[in-house]
Structure 1
Amino acid sequence: MLRKQWGLTASAGAAFLAIVTASPEVAINIASAARDVSGIGLGNLLGSNIISIPLMVTIAYFASRKQFKNNKEHQEHRDKNILALNKRSVAVLSLPYLGIIALVAILTLPKPWRGLQPIDGWIMLGAYIAFLAHAIVKGKQKGKNVEWNKRQVWLSIAGAIAIATGALFIVKATENIVSVLGISEIVGGLFITGIMTTAPEIFKTWSVVKGGEVTAGTTSVIADNAVTMTLAFFPLALVTTPIEDFQLYWVNLAFVGLMPLLYSLFIHQSKEQHGFTHWQIFAFDAAYIVYLMVMVFFVLKLF
């Protein structure tokens, strides 16, 4: 409703909607920092950003198989097995997000300033403000009249309270599981917390795409990840989070960057129609499987 009221395009609206849908990651990292288990937050930061693009693109593809009324163009996309997207989403969302990942790498990988420090947090907060401003400026149109009611306002407030409460319980649950299994906090964050926090994004992607807004529903995952890498980065940096396993960190950060890189390359691969074919969506899923294999056999060396 705010997107329509403020006259934001689908891509710009996705950047705005991400403030809500990525809030679980932010809340979890605040809770992790407050409970002195910032390793869980760091794992959540990386893990959620790796799995989210393959997962949301796949969900969006299946949700878009629905036939929309009076939309011949979408019917053509269905017949060609294409998840069609507006090419603006690359300039507005995915390229700036790649810039954010590059900035994180510059701030945290070099040995002299390795780790997440308070100054890094303030820099990433500024990066998010720039990302949001760029998305809104690039996608501003004339707004429409929107009527609000008290029920919608109260539902929003209740949702915010539920997210904050859920974040605390997720962090506590991860702490307990990590303790029982004898694994590190960051591994718990990668494969427990990071996966759990995708639930709101799954619901949003499915419902928005099924509602006919394919570009907004599919591209919003990029905006979600940008919020996670900036706003969710901030609380961990304020409490100074060290990188104890450098190999695990850089491998995961590399796959965080690989996913939007594939997104940008695939969306422009077809000259006739911007978007993803079913084979490209399979490639996203295959990339995540490769990530799991690298983690299991080469980084964690479980076998």
Structure 2
Amino acid sequence: MSAWLWAGVLVVAAWAAHWGADQLLTPLRKLRKQWGLTASAGAAFLAIVTASPEVAINITSAARGVSNIGLGNLLGSNIISIPLMVTIAYFASRKQFKNNPKHQEHLDANLLALNKRSVSVLSLPYLGIIALVAVLTLPKAWRGLQPIEGWIMLGAYGAFLIHAIVKGRKEGEKVEWTQKKIWLSIAGAFAIAAGAFFIVKATENIVTALGISEIVGGLFITGIITTAPEVFKTWSVVMGGEVTAGTTSVIADNAVTMTVAFFPLALVTTPVEDFQLYWVNLAFVGLMPLLYSVFVHQSKQLHGFSKWQIFVFDAAYVAYLLIMAFFVLKLF
């Protein structure tokens, strides 16, 4: 098969994996309501499923002996996701919501409305996770992803989830379960597994055809393609009036990716073969939530992101692409 045909397989597989994640979301959403979790805490809880395609991809890449594809996917998806989802959420929120009359104030001020609690519940703990990854993988003595580090990061996700749930509890609601939704959830689990297998298989063949490294393929092929379906979910959620939920879910997803999806790569011992490429990417992984936290703290009466702050997010990603092209990969 040609690279173009494998590219088609990659796109279809990514959509299949995310369709499966959407089906698994239903029971977790019911549990979120039943347990009385707020939007920010619920995002951390639901991320177990929404980030499951990335986790499945890394399990598959580790099992197939191409863990660098998984490492590239882990880093690449975490860099592009925040600026992309914040930008999509901003444009999706440029309308009035009947169920949220206060939103008009944010429209008048040209702000993307955001609950300030999301910083303490999600963003700052996520920055702590990135700092832990840096401490564990950057020093020369233990550079790379090793089994003991995988267990540490798995524990870090447990702490992240418990912190989010404890900080964001309210009175629960009564929910009903239907057999149809349960069967769809089971089908979703199979779709995630099949999608992840073909995403990795397609990336393997594309990087071979293009003559690029596995980690670069993971960064700019797998990482971007697997993030793309999230654009439509973010747009849909924000257009439905749930601006905070649509905007903050990306932070929770990234926390799962940097911990749970880190685990299978560490179990098979993934070395850092290009140190400059690794630390530059990890630095930009940390820059995005840092901007997120700083910008939210800058807002005063109306919490959220202004138009110029959205531009800074996008400019940071453009700067990342230029640094990678000119100084790391030296394409020009």
Q: Structure 1 length as normaliser, TM-score?
A: 0.98
Q: Which residue of 1 aligns with 2:76?
A: 47
Counterpart pick for 2:190 among 131, 156, 161? 161
Unaligned residue ranges in structure 1 (runs of 5+)? none
Amino acid at match of 1:165: A
Within-5 A mapping of 1:106-117: 106-117=135-146
Matches of 1:256 and 1:160 in 2, distance apart? 28
- Post-superposition CA distance 1:106-165 (Å, at most 9, x none): 000000000000000000000000000000000011100112212222222222211111
Aligned partner of 1:65 in structure 2 is: 94
Map of 1:38 onto structure 2? 67
Report the Cα offset of residue 261 of structure 1. Answer: 0.2
1:263 and 2:292 aligned? yes
Q: Percent identity?
A: 84
- The answer as to whether partners of 1:22 and 1:201 remain within 8 angstroms in 2 is no
Cα distance in 2 for partners of 1:194, 1:84 equals: 27
Aligned amino acid, residue 167 of structure 1? A
Q: 2:48 aligns with which of 19, 22, 47?
A: 19
Equivalent-residue separation in structure 2 for 1:115 and 1:197 (angstroms): 24
**What's 1:285 paired with?**
314
Preserved CA contact (<8 Å) 1:21 1:204: no
Question: C-alpha separation between the residues in 1 aligned to 2:102 and 2:61?
Answer: 46
Could you tell me which of 73, 89, 92 is aligned with 2:118? 89
2:302, 2:178 → 1: CA distance?
40
RMSD: 1.0
SS at match of 2:58: helix
**Alpha-carbon distance in 1 for matches of 2:242, 2:61:** 35
User: SS at the partner of 2:128?
Assistant: helix
2:273 to 227, 233, 244: 244
How has the CA–CA distance of structure 1 residues 199 and 5 changed in structure 2, closer, same or farther, with 3 Å as cutoff?
farther
In structure 2, C-alpha distance between the alignment counterparts of 1:34 and 1:86, rounded to whole Å:
40
Between the aligned partners of 1:270 and 1:298, the Cα distance in structure 2 is 35
Q: CA deviation at 1:202?
A: 2.0
The one-letter code matched in structure 1 to 2:204 is E
**Aligned-partner Cα distance in 1 for 2:78–2:96:** 30
2-structure distance, mates of 1:278, 1:153: 42
Aligned position for 1:183: 212
Q: How does 1:81-230 map onto structure 2 within 5 Å? A: 81-230=110-259
Name the CA distance, whole Å, in 1 between partners of 2:56 and 2:217: 17
| SS of the residue 1:72 aligns to | coil
Distance 2:126 2:51 in 1: 14
| Contact preservation (8 Å) 1:21, 1:224 | yes
Answer yes or no: is the 8 Å Cα contact 2:99–2:241 preserved in 1: no
Question: How far, CA to CA, are the matches of 1:74 and 1:161 in structure 2?
Answer: 40
Shift of 1:214: 0.9
CA–CA separation in structure 2 for the residues paired with 1:104 and 1:259: 15
Q: TM-score, normalised by structure 2?
A: 0.90
- Aligned equivalents of 1:150, 1:65: Cα separation in 2: 38
Equivalent-residue separation in structure 2 for 1:267 and 1:242 (angstroms): 36
Please state if 1:299 is matched with 2:328: yes
Report Cα offsets for 1:30-51 as digits up to 9, x if no partner.
0000000000000000000000
Counterparts of 2:32 and 2:99, CA distance in 1: 23
Instruction: Answer whether contact 2:100 2:241 (CA < 8 A) is retained.
Output: no
> Displacement of 1:70 after TM fit?
4.2
CA contact (8 A) 1:47 1:189 kept: yes
| 2:130 partner letter | I
